[in-house]
Structure 1
Amino acid sequence: MSRSVRQVHLAAHFPGVNNTTVWTDPAAGSQIDFSSFEHFARTAERGLFDYVFLAEGLRLREHNGRVHELDVLGRPNTLAILAALAGITEHVGLVGTLTTTFNEPYELARQLATLDHLSGGRAGWNAVTSSDAFHGANFRRGGFLDHADRYERAREFAALAKDLWDSWPADGVRADAATGEFLGDGVPSRVRHQGPQFDVDALFDVPRSPQGRPVIVQAGDSADGRRFGAEHAEVIFSLHTGFDDARAFYDDVKGQLPAWGRTEDSLKILPAVTFAIGDTPAEATERSREIALAQVRPEIAIRYLEGVWNRDLSQYDPDGPLPDIEPDTGAATAQGWANRHAAVGKRIGALREVSETEGLSIRDTVIRLTANHTFVGTPGHIAAEIDRYVQERATDGFTVVGHVTPHGLDEFAEKVVPLLQERGSYRESYEDGATLRDLLGLPAPHPAVVAAR
């Protein structure tokens, strides 16, 4: 008996707030004009993607007192963009990155539930912790939470948001046809919550949304992050793209689901992937190199290292070896990283290992770590690789990241998607009225479960 074909799930990451975007490309457009978001969302919908995914930055990046070039056009508000996209799309899901550190559960739950109603059940929330002082300087509390504390806040935040969303009955508020009075079984339950992070006594003011509650996406990779994902996430946006690494991550996180009363199909793992397409393997390899050199120009390579070393490295040659000086891991840093000593040591160790093993220059080392494209080849090769990952349970699909705004998805949708359809592992149309939860093949929202601590 033949094994059933697993369906590939694809998300589309809007480029811009990341180091993969190439602004020097003649085709590059704005990261704030609505036309860019409209083009990207329509391309994703034409390619039958599950959802579009927007990152959000809460502060302009600075380097030696200058705003980084990726931020020169600003960083618009994610929820406003998604609400606008809800009006010009019909099927594709709408997922935004919103922090648990610098928001409050009631207000964010309210905004997301509203978006879910406006979009007909297509809303999702990428919950991130944003612990660093660099972002915290924009907020009254300042500073940053320790790594463990930020995940404790995130777990309590997500649990409270779900309680608020679930406080309404499935059929919402109903009124008596004769008297107009509200019927008792339609009124939301009062949510009382007292915990280390939040003290809330509320009647949630947005009825249950079309898909029960917005889909929760998450991207943490530490032990605490994986635990949060197993407890609360319905999609994980991971960085594990090598086949063996991806499968190990898949097995680890999905193996934690039973402790939270969950099944394998209640969580989708969609690693972020980049790509370079060519008519031949050689052409694709050449194009990958061209894109990487545009992504990591000489000055960008030095800036990257300066962000790690926290020193002025302008005297170093991008085509020469890594700096032989020690980093400055003092508290006053441009990035404001929490636990900076450990983070810097790990990152520099990885850089030196790659550089020394292969004799790479500064620029090529940074390219290897930040611009090494996941899938490079012909459309047929890329489609086959995507399918292999999914069929062999290394992933449930991928989050596709292009390198040009807003056209980075165009070639993938036109050339790779049809080949996935030919393989029988990708949808050929949307079902009318499908929610984001339906597109992802997720079950109804799972209730909260207290796992063994």
Structure 2
Amino acid sequence: MTLISDAPAPTSTERPVKQVHLAAHFPGVNNTTVWRDSNQASQIAFSSFTHFAQNAERGKFDFLFLAEGLRLREHKGRIHDLDVVGRPNTLAVLAGLAAVTSHIGLVGTLSSTFNEPYELARQLASLDHLSGGRAGWNIVTTFDAFHGENFRRGAFLDKADRYTRAEEFVAVARQLWDAWATDAVLADKAAGDFLAEDAIGLVDHHGPQFDVTGFPTLPQSPQGRPVIVQAGDSADGRGFASRTAEVIFSRHAGFEDGQKFYSDVKGRLAAEGRHRDSLKILPAVTFILGDTEAEARERSRETALLQVSPQTAIAFLEQVWGTDLGGYDPDGPLPEIDPVSTDQGVTRGRVRHDSDPAAIARGWRTLAEAEGLSIRDLVIRFAANHTFVGTPVQVAETINRHVQEDASDGFVIVGSTNPTGLDEFVDRVIPELQERGVYRTEYEEGATLRHTLGLPV
């Protein structure tokens, strides 16, 4: 967790004040959502999405963000009963939300591995028109054969091939989005006769991944093209982001770690002919508020215990150990056995960020022994360690400090309940940011998502 005292004081009062950018993440289908909360509602009911979106818009967030799962997760060969509640199609939900919101951006996660450029570009362009220029696309490459089994091509692509496909996918999509003149150009031409070729360009792409020849079916949207969001963190992912992304959904939420990531990725842009402001970096963060710091810490502990039940703690450990640990006491010490090396993990359908389970286990044992942590305590440390814990004033000051000192351009806020997880943040933290003059008090009328984020048109 991060408190206001954990970040260094600003070093200069002469720097231009940066505006904080915030996005709202709809609670995921995982253990970080407290399903036993009294305000918990259905994960698939449109009323839940409506409350979430309209509340985020009340808080003047730049955009809302939906993840997408292409297959139900499995654990030890069975559907993972700790986190399965269903998830509807992202584009269908965003299209519905376009009708019940007016200003907030609508960003959906969609795979470049299991879609085709022409079809997806058309769907995103449609959303961009329906929403008045508020659409965004979070590109994922989908990492394993487990998901691929749901698709006709089956299997999956190697990591390097996934990024190669994704980069060409985006290039083709951009050709399709740019091939037809804007509505404004068409309106200017409407007074006289003109041929379709005057307004619509043929896309004729032939590359190693795609062969696409045809005319797009829609003119450019009000913002020209949907905003591109990306979350890759590897060397390939950072390179792809520096060439392609306009927003990075980062996991580097710590102050010093965030500054290093920010400096690395922003430092790559000049070589790509891009300005530093053409890419926004928004780490995902959680929060717990209290009237006092002590109250916030206590609420954080209580919430963490709800997020990490005893069975969740064992399941989390099994993902690293690669074997059944059902016989271990979650309130006891870590297993003395070493992780099992296997190509197919005990949990399928969840991204793994570690490549050396044995090293992870050794590090965890050292930490647990030094601090007297049980299995559940340790899992809470890694799976439910809330990013910002404190009073609304403390949290607002910490967010602002990260932005002003180049640890991020803002944050993707993740609540712990569905759909009310952002309510307290909107009510108590947003006014503090506004009072400091670093966060909008109103949307600019008619602004597209690209304009709201301060991205080049």
Instruction: Provide TM-score, normalisation by structure 1.
Output: 0.93
Describe the shift of the 1:343–1:98 C-alpha distance in structure 2 as closer, same or farther (beyond 3 A): farther
Residue 451 of structure 1 corresponds to none
| Aligned counterpart for 1:132 among listed residues 141, 144, 148 | 144
Q: How far off its partner does 1:346 sit?
A: 5.4
More displaced 10-residue stretch of structure 1: 17-26 or 220-229: 17-26
The residue correspondences of 1:221-300 to structure 2 (distance < 5 A) are 221-300=233-312
Kindly provide the CA deviation profile for residues 164-215 of structure 1, in whole angstroms up to 9, marking residues without a partner as x: 211223445469657865354212x222222222122222112111101000
Q: Tell me if the contact between 1:95 and 1:124 (Cα under 8 Å) persists in the aligned partners.
A: yes
Whole-Å separation in 1 of the counterparts to 2:353 and 2:287: 32
Q: Which amino acid aligns with 1:264?
A: R
Describe the shift of the 1:227–1:356 C-alpha distance in structure 2 as closer, same or farther (beyond 3 A): farther
Residue 62 of structure 1 corresponds to 74
Q: How far off its partner does 1:102 sit?
A: 1.0
Q: How far off its partner does 1:348 sit?
A: 3.5
Asked if 1:114 corresponds to 2:126, the answer is yes
Q: Which amino acid aligns with 1:4?
A: P
Q: How far off its partner does 1:384 sit?
A: 0.3
Pairwise CA RMSD: 2.1
Residue 426 of structure 1 corresponds to 439
Task: Identify unmatched segments of 5+ residues in structure 2.
Answer: 1-12
SS at match of 2:341: coil
SS at match of 1:251: helix
Q: How far off its partner does 1:69 sit?
A: 3.7
Whole-Å separation in 2 of the counterparts to 1:364 and 1:217: 34
Kindly provide the CA deviation profile for residues 243-291 of structure 1, in whole angstroms up to 9, marking residues without a partner as x: 0000100000000001111001100001000001000000000000011
Q: Tell me if the contact between 2:125 and 2:226 (Cα under 8 Å) persists in the aligned partners.
A: yes
Whole-Å separation in 2 of the counterparts to 1:427 and 1:248: 27
Q: Tell me if the contact between 1:133 and 1:336 (Cα under 8 Å) persists in the aligned partners.
A: no
Identity of aligned residues (%): 64
Describe the shift of the 1:190–1:311 C-alpha distance in structure 2 as closer, same or farther (beyond 3 A): same
Residue 414 of structure 1 corresponds to 427
Asked if 1:210 corresponds to 2:222, the answer is yes
Residue 435 of structure 1 corresponds to 448
Whole-Å separation in 2 of the counterparts to 1:429 and 1:410: 18
Whole-Å separation in 2 of the counterparts to 1:201 and 1:94: 29
Whole-Å separation in 1 of the counterparts to 2:270 and 2:264: 12
Whole-Å separation in 2 of the counterparts to 1:328 and 1:190: 54
Residue 447 of structure 1 corresponds to none
Describe the shift of the 1:78–1:178 C-alpha distance in structure 2 as closer, same or farther (beyond 3 A): closer
SS at match of 1:270: strand
Q: Tell me if the contact between 2:74 and 2:349 (Cα under 8 Å) persists in the aligned partners.
A: no
Residue 341 of structure 2 corresponds to 329
Whole-Å separation in 2 of the counterparts to 1:243 and 1:284: 20
Q: How far off its partner does 1:357 sit?
A: 4.0
Kindly provide the CA deviation profile for residues 289-312 of structure 1, in whole angstroms up to 9, marking residues without a partner as x: 011111111100101112222211
Task: Identify unmatched segments of 5+ residues in structure 1.
Answer: 445-453
Q: Tell me if the contact between 2:73 and 2:349 (Cα under 8 Å) persists in the aligned partners.
A: no
Residue 92 of structure 1 corresponds to 104
Q: Tell me if the contact between 2:71 and 2:349 (Cα under 8 Å) persists in the aligned partners.
A: no
The residue correspondences of 1:138-157 to structure 2 (distance < 5 A) are 138-157=150-169
Kindly provide the CA deviation profile for residues 107-130 of structure 1, in whole angstroms up to 9, marking residues without a partner as x: 111111100000000000000111
Q: How far off its partner does 1:138 sit?
A: 1.1
Residue 320 of structure 1 corresponds to 332
Residue 449 of structure 1 corresponds to none
Describe the shift of the 1:348–1:157 C-alpha distance in structure 2 as closer, same or farther (beyond 3 A): farther
Q: Tell me if the contact between 1:329 and 1:340 (Cα under 8 Å) persists in the aligned partners.
A: no
| Aligned counterpart for 1:10 among listed residues 1, 8, 22 | 22
Whole-Å separation in 1 of the counterparts to 2:363 and 2:214: 48
Q: Tell me if the contact between 1:250 and 1:394 (Cα under 8 Å) persists in the aligned partners.
A: yes
Asked if 1:33 corresponds to 2:45, the answer is yes
Describe the shift of the 1:359–1:193 C-alpha distance in structure 2 as closer, same or farther (beyond 3 A): farther
Describe the shift of the 1:18–1:219 C-alpha distance in structure 2 as closer, same or farther (beyond 3 A): farther
Q: How far off its partner does 1:148 sit?
A: 1.4
Describe the shift of the 1:169–1:362 C-alpha distance in structure 2 as closer, same or farther (beyond 3 A): same
